């Protein structure tokens, strides 16, 4: 089955700086890579996703890059704000109704 590794487990950055979270996956059949933000006690919320036919996708301060050859993808958050503090999960799926395999999560802390 799929295995997703995520680093770092904790990331502390100054407000206004950028944050980068990296994931690798093992199954070459995976073709869908979402990122979820989860605040304490709440549901995971999709913040951005990328499909394997695209190398990069951007939505305002958030961007995701995908390197299919190396089987890794990354989340980039620029101009970080206090409300960005949360746990971020990457995930991978082979599509259809395959379900998601999640990385272990990154606790992002934005220091004022």
Partner 1 sequence: DTEVTQTPKHLVMGMTNKKSLKCEQHMGHRAMYWYKQKAKKPPELMFVYSYEKLSINESVPSRFSPECPNSSLLNLHLHALQPEDSALYLCASSQDRGWNTEAFFGQGTRLTVV
Query: Which residues of this chain interact with partner 1, rule CB under 8 A?
Result: 31-32, 34, 42-46, 49, 51, 89, 93, 95-105
Shortest distance in whole angstroms from residue 47 CB to partner 1:
12
Pick between residue 70 and residue 97 the one whose CB is nearest to partner 1.
97
**Between 26 and 45, CB nearer to partner 1:** 45
Based on CB atoms, which residue is closest to partner 1, 42 or 70?
A: 42
83: Cα within 13 Å, side-chain hemisphere = 1
Query: HSE on the CB side for 82, CA within 13 Å?
Result: 1
Q: Quote the least distance from Cβ 39 to partner 1, whole Å.
A: 12
Judged by CB, which is closer to partner 1: 41, or 112? 41
Q: Closest approach of Cβ 105 to partner 1, in Å? A: 5
């Amino acid at each position: 089955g799929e295995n997703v590794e995520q680093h770092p487990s904790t990331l502390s950055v100054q407000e206004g700086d950028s944050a980068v979270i990296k994931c690798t996956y093992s199954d070459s059949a995976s073709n869908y890579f979402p990122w979820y933000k989860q605040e304490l006690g709440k549901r995971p919320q999709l913040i951005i996703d990328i499909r394997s036919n695209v190398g990069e996708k951007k939505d305002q301060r958030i961007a995701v890059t995908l390197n299919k050859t190396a089987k890794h993808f990354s989340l980039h958050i620029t101009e970080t704000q206090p409300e960005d503090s949360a746990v971020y999960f990457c995930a991978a799926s082979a599509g259809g109704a395959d379900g998601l395999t999640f990385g272990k999560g990154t606790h992002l802390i934005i220091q004022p």
